Amino acid sequence: MDKSLLGSLAAIVGEENARPLESLAPHTPFKIGGPADAFVSPRSVEEVSRVVCACEQASVPWRVIGCGSDLLVSDEGVEGVVIEVRDNLSAIRVDGTRIVAGAGATNAAVAEAACAAGLSGYEFACGIPGTVGGAAIMNAGAYDGEFSQVCACVTCVTPEGRIVEVPREEAEWSYRHSMFDAAHYVVVAATLELTLADSAGIKARMDELTAKREAKQPIDMPSAGSTFKRPEGHFAAALIDQAGLKGLSIGGAQVSTKHTGFVVNAGDATSADVQALIDEVQRRVLESSGVALEPEVRMWGREA
């Protein structure tokens, strides 16, 4: 990477927040991935805007990471700048029946804040790994709830560096989709519209959903969450199970024996191991059922 750009980024976010050749493995629950040319942690929305503008002016590719909970990063790493929005953009504010959360706030933290304020509607997300920013981008959902059902608007930084508000009606949400990725917008905050309810009831519902998740999902093993999207009319895990793929391994990657919808890092898996296993699962499920599975995991590499 051009040293002048790295210097410009350091001038914006501080020397300690602009690190060259930072390994991305510690920044994803999968614990897999090579380095980014530069890893930058802006301290404010305004700094996000300035970092994006600097990258655009230098014609250097940039990407955004929160918890990295749905990412598979290649062993070779990624080209350009990775902008981290987790730690410095995680404030949560309650305003009546609304919660304004920074993109880096975890879904669990937002659900807890809502519960404490006696606000219902975000219980479904209490166990979804990742951040509010990621939830907005992929319209995260679980247990009959989706982000689009409770979000009033999303604050973003455009590729031109403008800070804009995208109302619910313009977000183009559908199943695990929004307009933010295609528009290359950086989600920096979201405003949720919730409803007043009894905190004890909210907490009971959250405990119930947490127990279900812990009982059914391999949360004790490194993964990127659900590996495949739900195919129309089917469940990915059921198709994988029916194809006899439970426990199938390639290198250190394994189809979970607890929930076949998850590919896990069973021990020193490489990104290539995971990718090969995903490809094999897709091939064999298509062969056995005629259904083409589409990955829910996002894949980053130098070729992208």
pLDDT of 304 higher than 60: no
Residues 130-146, mean pLDDT to the nearest whole number = 94
- Residues with catalytic function: 176, 226, 296
What is the pTM (predicted TM-score) of this model?
0.91
In whole angstroms, give the CA distance from residue 278 to residue 34. Answer: 19
Helix/strand/coil for 196: strand
pLDDT of 83 higher than 60: yes
The three-point CA angle 87-88-91 to 5° equals: 95
In whole angstroms, give the CA distance from residue 193 to residue 155. Answer: 14
In whole angstroms, give the CA distance from residue 85 to residue 64. Answer: 7
**pLDDT more than 70, % of the chain:** 99
Name the phi and psi angles at 40, rounded to 5.
Answer: -125, 135
Q: Which of 192, 65, 170, 63 is nearest to 124 (CA)?
A: 192
Helix/strand/coil for 277: helix
pLDDT digits (tens, 9 = 90+) for 13-32: 999 999 999 999 999 999 99
